Homo-oligomer: A and B are copies of this chain.
């Protein structure tokens, strides 16, 4: 695509506006266009595509400088995207970037991640949208490779666009030795052994969410977990049409249907 104006890029995340990941991303993509950041005012990990309807949402201008405006928001990542599109931006953005997330959003994490929830929301609005995550949860995580490859995929997406209803889930492996970008599929698997039982200060049972990922297809070289294990940046195109088209013919045989 060619742009008459500078591309307008909406940036959000689920770790909050002060997180290192989003700020490293903003520095890295400053040259790509006009950047508007609308991100939660604190951590919203695991918020999926949650929306806030019971409470009102507040939006605060954090800073405004040349081609960079930053807002914080009391809502979820999806609320941030919705506020951006409906209330803040003068026109539809050319690109939405969510991240850089602290920790992997590969495989089945696409269901739980607020970062990917934000990317889906951009996609629902017809905006080329990308979730970017670094598979490193440590406070000293090195975002160098994630910024480098995040910028490349952002540039390529501005150049080529994405089909309607498709967004990208980009996961970058930990470490300095990254082999490059690889197109992948969402790894089949689930989280198991999910709770740690503990007691509160009065002796009552409480459960802490934890868990281990069970990979159901560890040998699938097309899967995003395989790519990450082998040093590649995994790029999975995701779609918002969740209809199980392959099952339509079969379920119609159930005798209950008209």
Q: Interface residues, chain A, CB within 8 Å of chain B? A: 43, 45-54, 56-59, 78-79, 82-83, 86-87, 108, 110-112, 117, 120-121, 124-126, 152-153, 156, 160, 162-163, 165-166, 179-183, 185-186, 188, 190, 192-195, 197-198, 200, 204-209, 232, 235-248, 250-252, 254-258
Are B46 and A247 neighbours in the complex by a CB distance under 8 Å? no
Contact partner of A50 (CB less than 8 A), chosen from B56, B112, B248, is: B112
Count of this chain's copies in the oligomeric assembly: 2
Are A243 and B247 neighbours in the complex by a CB distance under 8 Å? no
CB-CB < 8 A to A58: which residues of B? 204-207
Task: Quote the shortest CB–CB distance from A229 to chain B (angstroms).
Answer: 15
CB-CB < 8 A to A188: which residues of B? 165, 241
Task: Quote the shortest CB–CB distance from A79 to chain B (angstroms).
Answer: 7
Are B183 and A241 neighbours in the complex by a CB distance under 8 Å? no
Would you list 7 pairs from A and B whose C-beta atoms are within 8 A, ordered by A residue? Answer: A48-B50, A57-B195, A83-B207, A179-B258, A180-B256, A185-B243, A236-B243
A205 to B61, CA, bound (A): 12
CB-CB < 8 A to A59: which residues of B? 205, 207
Are B242 and A209 neighbours in the complex by a CB distance under 8 Å? no
Contact partner of A163 (CB less than 8 A), chosen from B156, B205, B247, is: B247
Given contacts A185-B248, A186-B243, contact A112 B237 (CB under 8 A): no
Are B51 and A112 neighbours in the complex by a CB distance under 8 Å? yes
Given contacts A86-B194, A183-B251, contact A57 B156 (CB under 8 A): no
Contact partner of A79 (CB less than 8 A), chosen from B56, B209, B245, B254, is: B209
CB-CB < 8 A to A43: which residues of B? 54
Are A49 and B52 neighbours in the complex by a CB distance under 8 Å? no
A49 to B76, CA, bound (A): 13
CB-CB < 8 A to A49: which residues of B? 48-49, 111-112
CB-CB < 8 A to A185: which residues of B? 241, 243, 245, 248
Contact partner of A124 (CB less than 8 A), chosen from B79, B190, B206, B207, is: B190
Given contacts A86-B193, A110-B242, contact A183 B52 (CB under 8 A): no
Contact partner of A237 (CB less than 8 A), chosen from B51, B160, B244, is: B244
Are A50 and B54 neighbours in the complex by a CB distance under 8 Å? no
Are A194 and B82 neighbours in the complex by a CB distance under 8 Å? yes
CB-CB < 8 A to A197: which residues of B? 87
Residue of B nearest to A252 (CB): B183
